[in-house]
A = this chain, B = another copy of it.
Amino acid sequence: MADDDTLSVTFAALSDPTRRAILARLRQGEATVGELAAPHAMSLPAISRHLKVLERAGLVSKGREAQWRPCRLDAAPLREVDEWLRGYRAFYENRIDRLAAQLADEEES
């Protein structure tokens, strides 16, 4: 990861497929740590730590209900990712259109 700026922490949190799977699961609603761990061939402590990474990135928040820690998605940091991405959108959108336009230009000359 290296730095602690929001974007770096967010991207780092998203760079692990297990963590992205957890986020995907949380779109369907709250889930306990155990429920989140179930689909993964991984120990519970490992999932607990992945959740801590997501929490530190502000992507997940945990409640306390008896001995359960219901987790829920907190997507706000993704908006920053979206805004960052916006600065690059022109470079990857309509790629085919722009390629076609370029080819047309070449043909004209």
Residues of chain A whose beta carbon lies under 8 Å from any beta carbon of chain B: 1-3, 5, 7-9, 11-12, 14-17, 20, 23-24, 27, 73, 75-76, 78-79, 81-82, 84-85, 87-89, 91-93, 95
Residues of chain B lying within 8 A (CB to CB) of residue A20: 7, 84
The answer on a CB contact under 8 Å between A8 and B17 is yes
Known A3-B17, A27-B87, A79-B95; 4 more pairs at CB < 8 Å: A20-B84, A23-B88, A78-B91, A82-B85
Residues of chain B lying within 8 A (CB to CB) of residue A91: 27, 73, 75, 78
The answer on a CB contact under 8 Å between B76 and A82 is no
Residue among B12, B16, B81, B92 making CB contact with A85, cutoff 8 Å: B81
